[in-house]
Structure 1
């Protein structure tokens, strides 16, 4: 099993920063933790500047978080999206959702 890890921090008011790996190994935990934090604290920005590795499961997690916010009547802005994740979104045809 991989030693992949991620963390969530709220160092800037209104922003939830995700760092580490956003991959198949961490996606379920990242989604659950980020949803809970967004619901609890009401952040409006998801900062991906600390994401070091992402795959299709990470992209799915990001899309699920955006949908989660939307179903609660909130707008969640995504910032500092890593180039690899942007490229994956482009080839998947979902870049406009980010």
Structure 2
């Protein structure tokens, strides 16, 4: 066990966090942009009009990308536990 293993684990953690969070964030961004354009075009400024589409897009994103997210998180967790086990065997 050396520093390279820890750096690899940290790098994998950051990549996993970005890959897992990006589908929901992108869908929320697109929904927010679409609502903002609609509000600017119609001059309707309602807080619920901006909030509800973002929540719906997040739910749709979880439905479509949830399986990918769970697989990615499970893979990272398995790799982290294997690294922990190697630390215990070879201190």
Please give the range of the TM-score, normalised by the shorter of the 2 chains: under 0.3
Which of 1 and 2 has higher RCO (CA within 8 Å, sep 6+)? 2
Bigger Rg over Cα: 2
- Which structure dedicates a bigger proportion of its chain to helix? 2
- Which structure dedicates a bigger proportion of its chain to strand? 1
TM-score, structure 1 normalization: 0.25
